[in-house]
Amino acid sequence: MKELLIDLMGAPLGTIIFQLVFAAQFTVYLSLIAFIGGGMAAIFITLARIAPYRPIRSVATGYIWLFQSTPLLMLLFLCGLGFPHLFQFQISPWTAASVALTIFTSAYLAEVWRGAIGAVETGQWEASNALNLRYVVMLRRIIIPQAVKFGLAPTVGFLVQIIKGTSLAYIIGFQDLMLIGKRWANAPVDGSEPFIIFPIMAVLYFCLCYPLALFARQLEQKALARGQ
């Protein structure tokens, strides 16, 4: 693969592209970790957010509010540098980036999903209550199946935000597309000037994000069509 690229495009460019594509896989892994970890956390936060007990709701609301109003960059700094320094422990860029992005994702998805649940007509809750369905059954059989159609498109759309968000992890030394690209852009090698590197990086990010954005758009249109 690497040799092929070098044969095709010459030494610096082939190597650069190979390294960038190689680094892009870590962007993908980090995004998946954030999405899956954040998604699982978001399930619990969403359930807490709509729980029939006010104290539980308040805690969840506080969590969402706190982490939605914290810039991702700040979360990365805190997880990768701030807390390790403050409490004197070692943390790898992988772990720190994963934790920061998971928290970021969980707060966002919990808010999206709460909105999706809120979009289900109140009549559905009332009918379920009148039929004496238990809370869990009501959520599982009535509310969530209907909320999915409101929540799916923004959830997939948010994956794009996560992928773009991972590009900030370079500041705590996470070796992804961004870090490798910047390193090359700063290297005194002919053919690795920023005006060459950054467009290549942009294309790679585009290739990761565009299909998802497209998919989200399709889901949205489907949901709209169904709503009419």
Partner 1 sequence: MPIVSMKAVQKWYGDYHALKDVDFSVEQGERVVICGPSGSGKSTLIRCINGLETCDAGSIVVNGIELTQRAGSVAKIRSVVGMVFQQFNLFPHLSALENCTLALTEELGLTQSQADEKAMQYLSRVRIADQAAKRPAQLSGGQQQRVAIARALCLEPELMLFDEPTSALDPEMISEVLETMVSLAEDGMSMICVTHELGFAREVAHRIIFMDEGALVEARDPIGFFERPENPRTKKFLSKILR
Residues found near partner 1 in the complex (CB under 8 A) = 121, 123-124, 126-127, 129-134, 137, 141-142, 145-146
Whichever of 74 and 137 has its CB closer to partner 1, that residue is 137
Whichever of 126 and 193 has its CB closer to partner 1, that residue is 126
Distance in Å, CB of 219 to partner 1, minimum: 17
Distance in Å, CB of 11 to partner 1, minimum: 59
Burial class (CB in 10 A: 0-12, 13-18, 19+), 178: buried
What separation in angstroms does the CA of 44 have from each of 30, 39, 58, 109, 133?
A: 21, 9, 14, 11, 21
- Nearest Cα to Cα of residue 216 among 150, 146, 157, 149: 157
How far does CA 74 lie from the centroid of its chain?
Answer: 16
Q: Are 175 and 23 in contact (CB under 8 A)?
A: yes
Q: Are 197 and 53 in contact (CB under 8 A)?
A: no
Q: Are 49 and 119 in contact (CB under 8 A)?
A: no
Whichever of 124 and 175 has its CB closer to partner 1, that residue is 124
Whichever of 102 and 128 has its CB closer to partner 1, that residue is 128
Whichever of 6 and 133 has its CB closer to partner 1, that residue is 133
Distance in Å, CB of 225 to partner 1, minimum: 13
Q: Are 107 and 68 in contact (CB under 8 A)?
A: yes
Distance in Å, CB of 116 to partner 1, minimum: 14
Q: Are 172 and 77 in contact (CB under 8 A)?
A: yes
Distance in Å, CB of 125 to partner 1, minimum: 9
Distance in Å, CB of 151 to partner 1, minimum: 14
Whichever of 11 and 131 has its CB closer to partner 1, that residue is 131
